[in-house]
Structure 1
Amino acid sequence: MSSPSSEIFRRGVQIQQRTLIAWSAALVVLALSVVGAWPSMESSGALEDFSSGVSPDVAAAFGIDQLGSASGYLKGNLYAVLLPLLLGLMAVTATTALTGGDEEAGRLELLLALPVARRRVFLVRFLCVTFGLVLTSVLVWLSVYGSVVAFDMDVSGGGVAAVTLTVALLAVLHAGVAYAVVGFGFGRGPALGVAAGVLVVGYLLHAIGPMSDALKPLVNVSPWEWALGNDPLLDGVPWGGVALLVAFSVVVVAAGTYAVDRRDIKNA
């Protein structure tokens, strides 16, 4: 006989099944499309012409400063902006739907009637989101790595694994931000807005901060910088950044879990 926690987990995964399939399919197609375009782009020389027409600072801000190389192409077209942003949005929307959305709709009341602590219900829902992010990230990693091998690109498999790991942890952190906002009782809308805002502001600090004397001191507080500042695609796992991503994820999730246990649950 399954435990209440495992039943809550199973039900949470089942609820997000369709959106998880849609997100995973879209991101895998995106990854395959980006890598699949490499042979024709490399032979045409269009990448070098494009990057040469952009100032070095702007090119570095958007991750397109080394488009002529295989790793630079992969970074600029997939890992520098697009995949972290989309995976982060997936994390935020899934978290707010499974926590704040279900609470506001009154669906969580049925789960809270089970013999399990309220904080565990919310925490298991967050684990459902994390499971979906891990699954999607693994599929993207397999797609990219398989394509890199098929097209004989000069990109290390370890680098692909490292950057996929940091991007996934970046998404988990922003899911944790959304979870914490819901935990404090602010609802789905505010949670979505705050977490998405943190995602975008973090990117702007990471990308534009180095070009501004006023913003440069703030670059190192950006989760994007922790995840991608040391170029894991080339240099491997940035263990310091990974530690920061994990630590802050634990802090925000713990804060949200603590708060939800000490407030009234909303009714539909």
Structure 2
Amino acid sequence: MNAAIVFQSIKAHAKSAFFVGLGLSAVALMFAGLYDNMKHQIDTFSNILPDGIEAIIGNLATANTPEGWLSIELFAIFVPIGLSILGVVYGSSLIGREEESGTLELLLAGPTTRMKLVAQKFLALAKLLAIPALLLCLAVYIGTVWFPFSPDMGHVLAACASGWMLGLAFGSITFAAQAITGRRGIATAVGAGLFTALWLLNILSRLLDDWKDYEVFSIFYYFNNPGVLVDGMDWSKFMVLVSVVFVGFVLALFGLRKRDVGV
């Protein structure tokens, strides 16, 4: 495998990955610092907040523990949105930007085959999305040192891994759409549209009893918040995310292989 292609791809996008990671880390440290003062007021907030708000920010009934506290807002909103959007952006641009600039043909004119190029770009996608997930996990650990805050770090690591895989799932779908169509805009629309639809389905399935059975059709269900923070990794749900990533990767392999790119 040509490590130079992976390195250059990461280098071109690393700044945004670090900024997202730093943003998530700042929120995590804020949550860690607030927990000791807020934990005794959570029941009051839980009683006055409407169900619609809890469907978005997370279940306040679990928030009186450090793990449950992290599951509201941070892992209910910031982590899934941040990593999923980052996945869509990277999925559409890792090959798409080079295709638009005309450098894709130059890469494929050398010893790199189409399938190797897809594998290298996909590895870069996975590594880029790992950056904010790892920074977030590190920030939570720092929060346990700085503040009276002691979540199970094994559960936190599992939640960060689930967030990474969620972002990679949306990234792989977008990546496949770009490889198949050759259109960066179409790929972005596919990824963003799917994200929006499944996010709304996830919220509606929590709000409406009639929609409860449909929650399994949303990829956010398998992100498993707050379950992964409170109870640890649910490997069956995690493997669903892995399966989506694998399918996206295979579709991208065959999509670019069959498409005319001028080489």
TM-score, reference length from structure 1: 0.89
Query: Equivalent of 1:53, from 38, 48, 52?
Result: 48
Read off the aligned partner of 2:23 and give its amino acid letter: A
Read off the aligned partner of 1:199 and give its amino acid letter: F
Read off the aligned partner of 1:241 and give its amino acid letter: K
Q: Which runs of 4+ in 1 moved over 4 A?
A: none
> What RMSD in Å do the two structures reach over aligned CA positions?
2.2
Any conservation in 2 of the 1:20–1:132 contact (CA below 8 Å)?
yes
Q: Deviations over 1:47-103 (max 9, x none)?
A: 443322123465245304233433222110211121111111111112212111221
Percent identity of the aligned residues? 24
Partner of 2:34: 37
Partner of 1:222: 218
> Which segments of 5 or more consecutive residues in structure 1 lack a partner in the other structure?
none
Q: Within 5 Å, which residues of 2 pair with 1:110-259?
A: 110-228=106-224, 231-259=227-255
Read off the aligned partner of 1:87 and give its amino acid letter: L
TM-score, reference length from structure 2: 0.90
Q: Deviations over 1:142-196 (max 9, x none)?
A: 1112213432324211111111111111111000010110011151112112112
Larger helix proportion of the pair: 2
| Residues 1:27 and 2:21 are matched in the alignment | no
CA distance, structure 2, for counterparts of residue 263 and residue 207 of structure 1: 38
**145-154 or 248-257: which moved more?**
145-154
**235-244 or 70-79: which moved more?**
70-79
Any conservation in 1 of the 2:205–2:214 contact (CA below 8 Å)?
yes
CA distance, structure 1, for counterparts of residue 262 and residue 188 of structure 2: 17
CA 48–230 in structure 1, closer or farther in 2 if over 3 Å, else same = closer
Any conservation in 1 of the 2:91–2:178 contact (CA below 8 Å)?
no
Q: Deviations over 1:178-219 (max 9, x none)?
A: 011001115111211211222222222222213334432321
Deviation at 1:242, TM superposition (A): 0.9
CA 94–266 in structure 1, closer or farther in 2 if over 3 Å, else same = farther
CA 175–238 in structure 1, closer or farther in 2 if over 3 Å, else same = same
**222-231 or 89-98: which moved more?**
222-231
CA distance, structure 1, for counterparts of residue 173 and residue 64 of structure 2: 37
- The secondary structure found in structure 2 opposite 1:155 is coil
- The secondary structure found in structure 1 opposite 2:124 is helix
Any conservation in 2 of the 1:183–1:259 contact (CA below 8 Å)?
yes
Partner of 1:109: 105
- The secondary structure found in structure 1 opposite 2:151 is coil
> Which segments of 5 or more consecutive residues in structure 2 lack a partner in the other structure?
none
CA distance, structure 2, for counterparts of residue 219 and residue 202 of structure 1: 9
- The secondary structure found in structure 1 opposite 2:95 is helix
- The secondary structure found in structure 1 opposite 2:181 is coil
**Higher RCO, 1 or 2 (CA under 8 Å, sep at least 6)?**
2
Any conservation in 1 of the 2:75–2:225 contact (CA below 8 Å)?
no
Partner of 1:7: 4
**31-40 or 215-224: which moved more?**
31-40
Any conservation in 2 of the 1:8–1:111 contact (CA below 8 Å)?
no
Any conservation in 2 of the 1:64–1:73 contact (CA below 8 Å)?
no
| Aligned pairs, number | 262
